[in-house]
């Protein structure tokens, strides 16, 4: 089995390096497309200048967008209204698609084969597949708006990376009806007999990226430090698994604390109770009858809990908010904005993207939620002032669980595991194949 594993790792690494070495046949790496030329010009323009270009380009036409978030459909009418404030005669129709079951990559790849595509832009998640299937292959182009870059203390030409619309967090939450049941350490979630509610890592790939990221030195160290805080009896229980994966960690080229990451991953994958979506997970956890259950789910779901005799957001604790909690509080991933490399309306796409990341109205379709943070610090500040997430006023019930402590708190004290697309892509074939070989837990 070990020999087979090593052979598989070697073969997959060769395939990975070969894939990373080219552009997937879309276009030579040295070639600059017409859309890229427009982007280079657009990155030196203000939102108002882009808006005027968009009006000239798309008046009377139809704009097609595609995204993992359905709220692009809510943002587009606001964008059109903004353009109409500049030119009242402006009129543009639009369609927004949200492919299910991770089909967005297939859809964009197929559309990318056309000389002129259908989709003008996309709002997309899963940094690993974005890097390997969309960027390296030349399907999508990054546009960095001038105003957004300035708000982040840089310039478009100096900024490295993709353009995030927002960062979202998925966090550990547990039912608190039993006062004696507490989770004080992230290792408690993979202890014997625990089965956290979680969307399957094959159905929502950002969950698999979370596991990849745990092997990065920073987050593996978080796990090691949390392990060191456990009492001796709990350390002894986990040490069996940690010792068992130590050799694998070395073979995978992980850092000195990589074995702690692999041990946590193995215990998690072998124990979690797979669910179809985060909404149902939240609806289960807030019930009085869901004693001793926990989940790893999108924070924003607590905002919509319907209060009844049986269900209440007050039945739910955020693990990282509890005094003395040790280790990771969850993970974070981004929704990224891209222009398609064969966009039929590239100026309009750039203007729409700039509108979403540079204005509160443009971000408002997402800004009402807890756990979703604009990548523009000025927009984030104004959004907080509008919705008062930190005070819990945007939720139906104000309690500690609904008081969002914000991006800075979550990424520091809350120790969120933050997705890094390039790192995820670099370990997808190695760590990813190791994860695929783990047994999956099947609820009885």
Q: What is the DSSP string of 276-337?
A: S-HHHHHHHHTBTT-TT-EEEEEGGGGGGPPP-SSB-GGGEEEGGGSTT-BS--EEEEEEEE
Residues 201 and 270 in one domain: yes
Residues 123/339, Cβ–Cβ less than 8 Å: no
Residues 370 and 272 in one domain: no
| Per-residue pLDDT at 40 | 97
| Per-residue pLDDT at 102 | 77
Asked, for residue 20, whether it belongs to a domain, the answer is no
Residues 385 and 399 in one domain: no
How would residue 109 be classed by pLDDT, with cut points 50, 70 and 90? very high
| Per-residue pLDDT at 36 | 97
| Per-residue pLDDT at 30 | 52
> How far is it, in rounded angstroms, from Cα 264 to Cα 191?
10
| Per-residue pLDDT at 442 | 43
Residues 177 and 318 in one domain: yes
pLDDT score of 104 more than 90: yes
- In the chain, how many domains are there? 2
Residues 222 and 289 in one domain: yes
Q: Which domain holds residue 286?
A: 167-333+392-436
Residue 153: other Cβ atoms inside 10 A: 9
Query: Percent helix, strand, coil in the chain (nearest 5)?
Result: 50, 15, 35
Residues 185 and 271 in one domain: yes
| Per-residue pLDDT at 137 | 94
Residues 263 and 381 in one domain: no
Asked, for residue 350, whether it belongs to a domain, the answer is yes
Residues 171 and 147 in one domain: no
| Per-residue pLDDT at 440 | 62
| Per-residue pLDDT at 31 | 84
Asked, for residue 16, whether it belongs to a domain, the answer is no
Q: What is the mean pLDDT of the chain?
A: 91
CA distances from 112 to 62, 94, 131, 162, 370 (A): 18, 20, 15, 19, 34
Residues 95 and 137 in one domain: yes
Give residue-wise pLDDT tens across range 11-36. 333 333 333 333 333 344 458 999 99
Give residue-wise pLDDT tens across range 324-362. 999 999 999 999 999 999 999 999 999 999 999 999 999
Q: What is the mean pLDDT of residues 375-401?
A: 95
Name residues whose C-beta falls within 8 Å of residue 66's C-beta, 6 or more positions apart in sequence: 96, 97, 98, 99, 104, 107, 108, 119, 122, 123
Asked, for residue 430, whether it belongs to a domain, the answer is yes
Q: What is the mean pLDDT of residues 399-414?
A: 96
| Per-residue pLDDT at 258 | 98
| Per-residue pLDDT at 388 | 95
Q: What is the mean pLDDT of residues 398-423?
A: 96
| Per-residue pLDDT at 8 | 42
How would residue 203 be classed by pLDDT, with cut points 50, 70 and 90? confident
Query: What is the pTM for the complete model shown?
Result: 0.88
pLDDT score of 270 more than 80: yes
Asked, for residue 371, whether it belongs to a domain, the answer is yes
Residues 254 and 327 in one domain: yes
User: Which residue did the predictor score with more confidence, 298 or 205?
Assistant: 298
pLDDT score of 208 more than 90: yes
Asked, for residue 2, whether it belongs to a domain, the answer is no
Give residue-wise pLDDT tens across range 306-329. 999 999 999 999 999 999 999 999
> How far is it, in rounded angstroms, from Cα 214 to Cα 32?
36
| Per-residue pLDDT at 201 | 86
Query: Can you give the CATH number for the domain in which 220 is found?
Result: 3.40.190.10
| Per-residue pLDDT at 443 | 42
Residues 175 and 324 in one domain: yes
Give residue-wise pLDDT tens across range 28-64. 445 899 999 999 999 999 999 999 999 999 999 999 9
59: tokens are 């008046």
Q: What is the mean pLDDT of residues 3-7?
A: 42
Region of residue 406 (phi > 0: left; psi between -120 and 50: alpha; otherwise: beta)? left
Q: What is the mean pLDDT of residues 205-222?
A: 96
Residues 351 and 408 in one domain: no
Asked, for residue 404, whether it belongs to a domain, the answer is yes
Q: What is the mean pLDDT of residues 95-99?
A: 94
Asked, for residue 204, whether it belongs to a domain, the answer is yes
């Amino acid at each position: 089995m070990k020999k087979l594993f090593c052979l598989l790792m070697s073969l997959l690494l060769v395939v990975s390096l070969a894939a990373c070495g080219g552009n997937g046949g879309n276009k030579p790496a040295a070639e600059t497309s017409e859309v890229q030329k427009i982007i280079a010009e657009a990155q030196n323009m203000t939102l108002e200048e882009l808006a005027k270009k968009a009006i000239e380009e798309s008046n009377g036409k139809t704009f097609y967008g595609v995204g993992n978030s359905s709220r692009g459909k809510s943002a587009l009418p606001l964008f059109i209204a903004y353009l109409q404030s500049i030119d009242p005669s402006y009129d543009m129709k639009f369609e927004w698609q949200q492919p299910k079951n991770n089909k967005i990559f297939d859809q964009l790849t197929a559309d990318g084969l056309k000389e002129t595509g259908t989709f003008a832009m996309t709002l997309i998640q899963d940094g690993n597949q974005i890097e390997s299937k969309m960027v390296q292959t030349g399907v999508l182009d990054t546009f960095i708006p001038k105003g957004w870059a300035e708000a982040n203390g840089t310039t478009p030409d100096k900024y490295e990376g993709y353009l995030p619309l927002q960062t979202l967090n998925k966090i550990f939450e547990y039912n608190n009806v039993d006062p004696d049941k507490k989770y004080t350490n992230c290792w408690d979630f993979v202890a014997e007999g625990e089965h956290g509610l979680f969307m399957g890592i094959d159905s929502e790939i950002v969950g698999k990226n979370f596991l990849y990221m745990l092997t990065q030195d920073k987050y593996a160290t978080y796990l090691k430090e949390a392990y060191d805080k456990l009492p001796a009896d709990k350390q002894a229980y986990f040490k069996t698994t940690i010792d068992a994966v130590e050799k694998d960690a070395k073979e995978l080229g992980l850092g000195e604390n990589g074995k702690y990451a692999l041990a946590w991953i193995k215990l998690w994958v072998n124990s979690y109770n797979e669910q179809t979506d985060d909404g149902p997970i939240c609806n289960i956890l807030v019930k009085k009858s869901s004693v001793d259950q926990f989940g790893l789910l999108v924070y924003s779901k607590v905002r919509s809990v319907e209060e009844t005799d049986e269900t209440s957001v007050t039945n739910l604790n955020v693990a990282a908010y509890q005094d003395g909690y040790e280790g990771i509080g969850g993970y974070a991933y981004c929704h990224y904005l891209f222009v398609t490399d064969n966009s039929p309306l590239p100026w309009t796409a750039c203007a729409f993207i700039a509108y979403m990341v540079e204005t509160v109205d443009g971000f408002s379709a997402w800004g009402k939620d807890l756990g979703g943070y604009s990548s523009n610090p000025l927009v984030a500040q104004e959004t907080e002032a509008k919705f008062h997430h930190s005070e819990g006023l945007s939720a139906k019930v104000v309690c500690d669980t609904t008081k969002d402590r914000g991006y800075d708190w979550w990424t520091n004290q809350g120790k969120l595991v933050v997705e890094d697309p390039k790192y995820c892509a670099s370990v997808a074939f190695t760590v990813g194949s190791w994860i695929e070989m783990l047994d999956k837990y099947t609820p009885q």
